Amino acid sequence: MFICLPLFIGKREWVKPYAGNEAGRYNELYCPSCRSYSVYPVKKREFVTVLFVPIIPLYWGNQLCCRVCRWNQDFDSQQQLDKVLMEQKNIREGAAAAGG
């Protein structure tokens, strides 16, 4: 007798808000892909799953993610995020000066 048991193998990601963004300082950053102000920092974990149970970690870290186009970029430290925030201020000031 042959018994066929299907194995459900896939990939799943878990996304949480970034722990250093309680005050909302980093919300609505500029997205270079879709040119909207919809980027925010997250803590992301990605796993290979077997029968919906996470088995093998593929990615574990912090990213900037766009809500509109799903663009993302890794960042390693709070200092990198602060540098991005300073660059964003320059982008916003440049857009305001240009009338957009």
Total structural domains within the chain: 1
Mean local confidence (pLDDT), 41-68:
94
**Taking residues 36-51, what's their average pLDDT?**
93
Say if 100 falls within a structural domain.
Answer: no
The pair of structure tokens assigned to 100 is 């957009």
Residue 1: inside a domain, yes or no?
Answer: no
Instruction: Give the whole-angstrom CA distance, residue 89 versus residue 58.
Output: 33
Tell me if 81 is assigned to some domain: yes
Which residues, other chains included, contact 63 with Cβ-Cβ below 8 Å and sequence gap of 6+?
41, 42, 44, 72, 73, 74, 75
In a domain, 21, yes or no: yes
Asked whether the whole model's pTM tops 0.75, one would answer no
In a domain, 86, yes or no: yes
Q: Residue 58: which of 7, 11, 17 has the closest Cα?
A: 11
59-81 pLDDT, tens digit each: 999 999 999 999 999 999 889 99
* Residue 4 within a domain: no
Q: Which residues contact 56 (CB under 8 A, 6 or more apart)?
A: 47, 48
Q: Is the pLDDT of residue 37 over 70?
A: yes
Residue 3 lies in a domain: no
Question: Quick one: which of 87, 95, 77 has its CA closest to 39?
Answer: 87
Q: Which domain holds residue 70?
A: 9-95
